[in-house]
């Protein structure tokens, strides 16, 4: 079967010294580090939407689609099958172990939900066979609850309960398909779960709707016996002015309020963290500390552009701190690292998408290898342990056991405690990190 990617030979690992643009320089899938292969640590995925659906429109939709792909033409269902063939050819040529999709990426919307579901069924039946033939696995599925005009005022948080019901029906179908395809996770990105103005928004009511929606998804997951992880993907704004899933900490508070903190984790995207005014490692460390770190959408933003530019990661040094947090947490479990990234508008050739994924995956692999070496050296971990060593003392334990203000005051006076300040050693630690990048 010939596709637009057929001219590219399967991408092999050739090592850091190769100048072949169509080879991996750092992603040696089978290389073992910290007891597992790189492929097992990273669990990388290509996403359907940016790579096979986006036609090259710019953010303000001022420009035409400039990417010319055979599946952008012709009868929509035939085009969807053509797109699927190309996608699996693409995954295989890159040796990409996982993929991710929205329902509407894969097949066209019909006149009714019944028709849309039938379209999806036809394409995903074949996707299932392709997954079996190629060994490519599903990292996660998700429902597009943000493109169609019916969702303009939200899906679960819509003022109209019929829209809520429609969204629920859509999620049910995609969740069931995710299970059938052996998906490792199911993602909910609250694309339009937010507001444009508080003047027309009943915030408390919308949060309760959203909480109920998520609880219903959890109930359905258990009802059908889906064993993957449910993930919320935080984002502070865009497309709405304010989105309810602002960042890791906000999502945790929301989950706690609706009693779902043990059922749902987060899928953290690099560019969303920076839009929220955080570093990516802050988001990862916060989710890890709260026990909800689930999966990663790997990309990067542009420091001068305040939107979700979804560029491929290309700076391994910038990702080392986040990789270190993931290693400290013990890995991503069922999660992985999905390239929620697209090429720039002028990169119109199919090979540009191949090279984008090579660069992205090499960047993740290199960052992970640096972080693993840093972690294994123990140089940072020793400083960290030492910094908090006081908390292993009798006093530290007494505090955690519930020491009262009275008891502590008594102790300070009786023992004449006079704690001395110690250096935080930030520069030394930064220098240690630089030894490993």
Regarding 103 and contact with ligand XLS (CB under 6 A), the answer is no
Is the CB of 28 or the CB of 308 nearer to ligand XLS? 308
* CA dist., res. 437 & res. 428, Å (int): 15
What does DSSP assign to residue 313? Answer: P
Binding map of Ni ion across residues 332-371, x = CB under 5 A, - = no contact: --------x-------------------------------
Q: Please state, as a whole number, how many other Cβ atoms lie within 10 Å of the Cβ of residue 408.
A: 14
The site partner of 206 among Ni ion, ligand XLS, none (C-beta below 5 to 8 Å per kind) is none
Q: Which stretch binds Ni ion (CB under 5 A): 29-37, 194-202, 266-274, 386-394?
A: 266-274
Regarding 308 and contact with Ni ion (CB under 5 A), the answer is yes
Four-residue CA torsion sign, 374, 376, 380, 381: positive
End-to-end Cα separation, the chain, in angstroms:
42
Regarding 186 and contact with ligand XLS (CB under 6 A), the answer is no
Regarding 340 and contact with ligand XLS (CB under 6 A), the answer is yes
Regarding 283 and contact with ligand XLS (CB under 6 A), the answer is no
Q: Phi and psi of 74, rounded to 5°? A: 85, -170
Regarding 269 and contact with ligand XLS (CB under 6 A), the answer is yes
7 in Cβ contact with 351 (< 8 Å):
yes
Q: Please state, as a whole number, how many other Cβ atoms lie within 10 Å of the Cβ of residue 398.
A: 13
Is the CB of 281 or the CB of 308 nearer to Ni ion? 308
Active site residues: 102, 105
89, 193, 297, 362: residue in contact with ligand XLS (rule CB under 6 A): 297
Q: CA angle 236-237-243, nearest 5°?
A: 70
Is the CB of 93 or the CB of 272 nearer to ligand XLS? 272
Regarding 105 and contact with Ni ion (CB under 5 A), the answer is no
Regarding 245 and contact with ligand XLS (CB under 6 A), the answer is no
3, 51, 107, 142: residue in contact with ligand XLS (rule CB under 6 A): 142
Regarding 193 and contact with Ni ion (CB under 5 A), the answer is no
The closest of 203, 210, 195 to 152, measured between CA atoms, is 195
69, 104, 235, 316: residue in contact with ligand XLS (rule CB under 6 A): 235
Q: Please state, as a whole number, how many other Cβ atoms lie within 10 Å of the Cβ of residue 223.
A: 8
Q: In angstroms, give the least distance from the CB of 233 to ligand XLS.
A: 5
Count of residues touching Ni ion (by CB under 5 A)? 4
Q: Phi and psi of 291, rounded to 5°? A: 75, 25
Residue spans of alpha helices (H) in 258-349: 270-275, 280-290, 316-329
Residues that bind Ni ion (CB under 5 A): 269, 297, 308, 340
């Amino acid at each position: 079967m010939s596709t637009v990617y057929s001219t590219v030979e399967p991408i092999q690992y050739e090592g850091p010294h190769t100048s072949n643009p169509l080879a991996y320089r750092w992603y040696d899938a089978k290389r073992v580090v910290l007891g597992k292969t790189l492929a097992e640590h990273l669990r990388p995925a290509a996403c359907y939407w940016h790579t096979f659906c986006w036609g090259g429109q710019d953010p303000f939709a001022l420009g035409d689609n400039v990417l010319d792909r055979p599946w952008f033409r012709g009868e929509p269902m035939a085009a969807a099958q053509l797109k699927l063939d190309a996608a699996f050819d693409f995954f295989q040529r890159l040796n990409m172990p996982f993929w991710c999709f929205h329902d509407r990426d894969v097949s066209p919307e019909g006149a009714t939900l019944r028709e849309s579901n039938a379209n999806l069924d036809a394409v995903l039946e074949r996707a299932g066979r392709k997954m079996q033939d190629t060994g490519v696995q599903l990292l996660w599925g998700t429902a597009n609850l943000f493109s169609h005009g019916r969702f303009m005022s939200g899906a679960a948080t819509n003022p109209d309960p019929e829209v809520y019901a429609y969204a629920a029906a859509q999620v049910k179908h995609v969740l069931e398909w995710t299970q059938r395809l052996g998906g490792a996770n199911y993602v909910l990105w609250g694309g339009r779960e937010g507001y444009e103005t508080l003047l027309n928004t009943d915030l408390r009511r919308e949060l309760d709707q959203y909480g109920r929606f998520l609880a219903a998804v959890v109930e359905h997951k258990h009802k059908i016996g889906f064993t993957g992880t449910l993930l919320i993907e935080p984002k502070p704004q865009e497309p709405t002015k304010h989105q309810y899933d602002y960042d890791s900490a906000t999502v945790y508070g929301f989950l706690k309020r609706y009693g779902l903190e043990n059922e749902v984790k987060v899928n953290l995207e690099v560019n969303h963290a920076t839009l929220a005014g955080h570093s990516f490692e802050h988001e990862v460390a916060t989710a890890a500390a709260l026990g909800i770190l689930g999966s990663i959408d790997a990309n990067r933003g542009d420091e001068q552009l305040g939107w979700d530019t979804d560029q491929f990661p290309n700076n391994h040094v910038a990702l080392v701190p986040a990789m270190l947090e993931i290693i400290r947490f013990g890995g991503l479990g069922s999660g992985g690292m999905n390239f929620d990234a697209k090429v720039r508008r002028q990169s119109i050739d199919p090979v540009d998408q191949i090279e984008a994924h090579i660069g992205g995956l090499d960047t993740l692999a290199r960052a992970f290898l640096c972080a693993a070496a840093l972690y294994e050296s123990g140089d940072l971990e020793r400083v960290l342990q030492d910094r908090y060593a006081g908390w292993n003392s009798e006093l530290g334990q007494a505090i955690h056991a519930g020491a009262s203000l009275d008891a502590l005051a008594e102790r300070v006076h009786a023992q004449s405690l006079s704690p001395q300040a110690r250096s935080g050693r930030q520069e030394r630690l930064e220098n240690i990190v630089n030894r490993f990048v």
